[in-house]
């Protein structure tokens, strides 16, 4: 079957509504199902963005609750910003090397408008937890993987500031994974609330592109 950038592949059988709707959005974006994501944050900008992004405050919480337990498991834990750009990708070393083939790396853009259906990008679009399994991914390069992601909210005004994701084999979208990631995100939001966090008050000294700007920036072009 010939695939085009404007027409989703139709070889995965019956689809869940969340997947079908996401594929429709990917089709409207005319995304290539064989394409790679873009590296949207070069190393220097990534270092600055990590340092000044609010999720940096919660990274120890995520590591304690998720990352520390996935070494040698074949699973990855990723944290992305509100635009779907991955800021941290940690976990099993062998899985990290394999994930590099599909550019699931820090600095890459994994929004739904960039790569189509995936847990991180689709969770941000829907503003709720999402699980995507194997062939449910729009992009063929990602179909050997499964993932679960939950958005993180500013505890002050409730707007989305990022996303926490587990990616790996079928266990990454198992029945217990979504409650685990949801509980981790709740702990992250509680931690930020205890710190008196407010996203608009965190002003980076330099953001990607060299601007002086709050964390809340327009999405990448």
Q: Tell me whether residue 31 is in a domain.
A: no
Q: Tell me whether residue 128 is in a domain.
A: yes
Q: Tell me whether residue 157 is in a domain.
A: yes
Contact 80, 162 (CB under 8 A): yes
pLDDT given at position 199: 54
Q: Tell me whether residue 139 is in a domain.
A: yes
CA distance 195 to 70: 27
Measured from the Cβ of residue 131, the count of other Cβ atoms closer than 10 Å reads: 24
The pTM assigned to this predicted structure is: 0.84
Q: Tell me whether residue 159 is in a domain.
A: yes
**Residues paired with residue 168 on neighbouring β-strands, in sequence order:** 146
Reference 110, options 125, 95, 98, 127; nearest CA is 125
What DSSP state is assigned to residue 126? H
Whose structure tokens read 């990723």? 78
- pLDDT of 168-210, one tens digit each? 999 999 999 999 999 999 999 999 999 886 554 554 444 444 4
Q: Tell me whether residue 76 is in a domain.
A: yes
pLDDT given at position 197: 66
CA distance 138 to 25: 10
pLDDT given at position 87: 98
By residue range, what is the domain housing residue 143? 38-199
Total number of domains constituting the chain: 1
Give the phi and the psi of residue 207 in degrees, each rounded to 5: -105, 170
Class of residue 35 by CB neighbours under 10 A (exposed 0-12, middle 13-18, buried 19+): middle
pLDDT given at position 3: 30
CA distance 15 to 10: 10
Q: Tell me whether residue 7 is in a domain.
A: no
What DSSP state is assigned to residue 138? S
Measured from the Cβ of residue 86, the count of other Cβ atoms closer than 10 Å reads: 25
| Tokens, residue 171 | 């266990």
Length of the chain: 221
**Residue ranges for the chain with pLDDT beneath 70:** 1-14, 197-221
CATH number at residue 140: 3.30.450.40
pLDDT given at position 134: 97
CA distance 152 to 129: 10
Q: Tell me whether residue 110 is in a domain.
A: yes
């Amino acid at each position: 079957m010939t695939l085009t950038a404007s027409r989703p592949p139709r070889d995965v059988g019956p689809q869940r509504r969340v997947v079908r709707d996401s594929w429709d959005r990917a089709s409207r974006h005319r995304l290539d199902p064989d394409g790679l994501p873009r590296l949207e944050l070069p190393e220097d900008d990534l270092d600055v963005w990590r340092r000044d992004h609010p999720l940096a405050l919660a990274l120890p919480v995520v590591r304690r609750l998720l990352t520390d337990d996935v070494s040698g498991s074949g699973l990855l834990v990723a944290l992305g910003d509100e635009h779907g750009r991955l800021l941290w990708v940690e976990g099993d070393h062998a899985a990290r090397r394999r994930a590099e083939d599909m550019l699931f790396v820090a600095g890459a853009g994994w929004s739904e408008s960039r790569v189509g259906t995936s847990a991180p990008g689709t969770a941000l679009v829907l503003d709720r937890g999402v699980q995507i399994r194997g062939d449910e991914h729009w992009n063929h390069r990602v179909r050997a993987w499964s993932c679960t992601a939950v958005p993180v909210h500013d505890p002050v005004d409730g707007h989305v500031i990022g996303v926490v994701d587990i990616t790996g084999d079928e266990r990454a979208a198992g029945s217990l994974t979504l409650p685990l990631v949801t509980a981790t995100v709740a702990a992250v939001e509680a931690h930020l609330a205890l710190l008196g966090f407010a996203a608009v008050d965190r002003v980076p000294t330099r953001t990607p592109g060299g601007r002086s700007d709050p964390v809340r920036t327009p999405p990448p072009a």
